[in-house]
Amino acid sequence: MVALTAGEAARRPRLEDVASDVGVSPATVSMVLRGVAGPSAATRERVLAAASRLGYRPDRAASVLASRRSRLIGVMLDIRNTFHAQLVEDVHDAAERHGYDLVLSTVTRGRDEQQAVETLLDSRCEALMLFGSETSAERLAALDRQLPVVVVGRPVPSAGVDVIRAADDEGVGQAVDHLIGLGHRHIAYVDGGPGEIAGLRSRGFRDAMRRHGLGAGLVVIGGGHTEESGAAAAQTLLDSDQRPTAVVMFNDRSAMGLVDTLTRAGLAIPGSISVVGYDDSPLARLAHIDLTTVSQNPGQLTEHAVAALIERLDNGRIGHREVVVRPRLVVRRTTGPPPR
């Protein structure tokens, strides 16, 4: 083994250092680290051991300059949305299988979508994946003229932008069908405010209620995306003279706020009122919550989203694609028959 001098130890280990340590050429080390066939099993073992011992890491910046490709997919997400976090985990696995890595940029209370996207563009990402984007169709189309863009979670009436989303109207319809099957007739919906996603889910509720002959007494309560909006909706229900026996919520986060407020007020769930969320987020699966909810089948969403970008980046596909994934009702503890 060749010992490194003090000066060599102070700098970042290079591919040549690994080659010198093992006594092979830099080309052989490169082949081993890239998984290319050729070097023997014994050589591979020695190279990998030396790379680990020396702390060698490939220089991504140098690779980018050499290939003129970053192989980076930029992902924009809302840091407050646990469903987005779940999607990122799945996207990372799918992208890695195709030899791509992710750069994440978040939307927060003080950081809007435009800032998040600009960070991704500055990071030399080859494509963008936007979760729950509220950017206008015109702006998305302009972005897509710069690089491939896929929007996950909402419809976009604009050519050139790939869209991967769940059939949200159908998902809410499944929730209504489930409650009707349990015997409920007085069902309220707490909406998600403005936006295409909220509009689709609200329409799904109205259509399902009408389909069951219950369109005359539709109850839709203004809501939002957060626990606070769910708590406010719960207070509206508590103050109502004609409380419904079941509630369908825009998402799991708002459902958490509603369940917490109703429980603190002494209502049993589902004994006094049944609750259905939307997203099947990790919070919904907690044992003490066990929320009946609608899954958007995130695994399918992310597989389609990554595949759409790979087809454009590696295979040269052009044109707009929209994939609509069928959601799935997940029945847990927060729904039951209506109270007598």
- 112/157: higher pLDDT: 112
Residues contacting residue 157 through CB under 8 Å, at least 6 positions apart: 137
| CA–CA distance, 202 with 114 (Å, rounded to integer) | 27
Q: Is the pLDDT of residue 309 over 70?
A: yes
Q: Which fold has domain 6-58?
A: 434 Repressor (Amino-terminal Domain) (1.10.260)
Predicted pLDDT of residue 246: 97
Question: In terms of C-beta density within 10 A (0-12 exposed, 13-18 middle, 19 or more buried), how is residue 288 classed?
Answer: exposed
- Residue ranges of the chain that CATH labels 1.10.260.40: 6-58
Predicted pLDDT of residue 7: 47
**Mind spelling out the 3-state secondary structure of 257-301?**
HHHHHHHHCCCCCCCCCEEECCECCHHHHCCCCCCEEEECCHHHH
Q: Is the pLDDT of residue 123 over 50?
A: yes
Predicted pLDDT of residue 54: 85
Predicted pLDDT of residue 83: 86
Strands 101-107 and 72-78: parallel
**pLDDT tens, residue by residue, 213-228:** 999 889 999 999 899 9
Which residues make beta-bridge pairs with 248? 189, 276
| Mean local confidence (pLDDT), 222-236 | 95
SS3 73: strand
Peptide bond into 298 cis (omega under 30): no
- Residue ranges of the chain that CATH labels 3.40.50.2300: 68-167+297-326, 168-296
| CA–CA distance, 218 with 203 (Å, rounded to integer) | 12
Helices (H), the chain: 6-10, 15-22, 26-33, 41-54, 60-67, 82-97, 113-122, 137-144, 168-182, 196-211, 227-238, 252-264, 298-313
**pLDDT tens, residue by residue, 179-224:** 999 999 999 999 998 888 899 999 999 999 999 999 988 999 999 9
Class of domain 168-296: alpha beta
DSSP 338: P
Q: Is the pLDDT of residue 259 over 60?
A: yes
| CA–CA distance, 260 with 229 (Å, rounded to integer) | 12
Instruction: Match 């007598």 to its residue by tokens.
Output: 340
Q: The domain 68-167+297-326 belongs to what CATH superfamily?
A: Response regulator (3.40.50.2300)
| Mean local confidence (pLDDT), 63-91 | 80
Looking at the chain, the whole-number percentage of residues with pLDDT higher than 70 is 92
SS3 241: coil
Predicted pLDDT of residue 62: 53
Predicted pLDDT of residue 159: 63
Predicted pLDDT of residue 59: 60
